[in-house]
Amino acid sequence: NAGVTQTPKFQVLKTGQSMTLQCAQDMNHEYMSWYRQDPGMGLRLIHYSVGAGITDQGEVPNGYNVSRSTTEDFPLRLLSAAPSQTSVYFCASSSVPPTGRAEAFFGQGTRLTVV
Amino acid sequence: AQTVTQSQPEMSVQEAETVTLSCTYDTSESDYYLFWYKQPPSRQMILVIRQEAYKQQNATENRFSVNFQKAAKSFSLKISDSQLGDAAMYFCAYRWRSQGNLIFGKGTKLSVKP
């Protein structure tokens, strides 16, 4: 009963480095999303996917890439990290149309610091 | 575009008292869901309560209840008998039925005084 598994929990990068945040869900949800959380800003959508092979941009997509090769996995890639990408990142999944309780399920979050 | 507004950046309540967190939203859709999520210092996003727009009855989960005013596009959260463990950031969120993404307010930080 893992739900949404997101790794790592913490990461420090130097400016210009690249990294991938991993996200996997075992609930067979079609919809997966990445959000970033900044103080006073709530959670803002970066990219989302409605199914394997289909991705789209959210509110703040610049500097991030995603792909969805399977229903389960939705990694987020930072190709060249910048200090402005210092944030807390959340992966989430949900069913569409809503089944059960309709809420999104979240990973544990990743605190990323870019120095 | 849909928006969610939480007008109270911070709130404080005495232990065992009642507090109400405000949320308003804007949408042209008629079929949607509203949620309150709690985020304690552990950073985990925890669902507190959900409301389906087509249900007129206000949702209730133990000490948590909502006042859903669809015409006014208002969705407030009432916490009764506040406990120290209720101290957290609370986010109001909207979801259109046909999409899986959530639109969040900026959050309200709730402090509980012993």
CA B81: distance to chain centroid?
17
Chain A interface includes B36 (CB < 8 A): no
Report long-range pairs for B48-52 (Cβ below 8 Å, ≥24 apart): B48/B77, B48/B90, B49/B77, B50/A101, B50/A102, B50/A103, B51/B75, B52/A102
Residues of A in contact with B33 (CB under 8 A): 98, 102-103
- Asked if residue A1 has pLDDT above 80, the reply is no
As a whole number, mean pLDDT of residues B71-95 equals 97
Give residue B105's pLDDT.
Answer: 96
Check whether the bond before A39 is cis (ω within 30° of 0). no
pLDDT digits (tens, 9 = 90+) for A69-113: 999 999 999 999 999 999 999 999 998 776 666 889 999 999 999
Question: Mean pLDDT over all residues of chain A?
Answer: 94
The total number of residues shown for chain B amounts to 114
pLDDT in tens, A9-63: 999 999 999 999 999 999 999 999 999 999 888 999 999 999 999 999 999 999 9
B105 vs A: CB within 8 A: yes
Tens-digit pLDDT profile for residues B40-70: 999 999 999 999 998 889 999 999 999 999 9
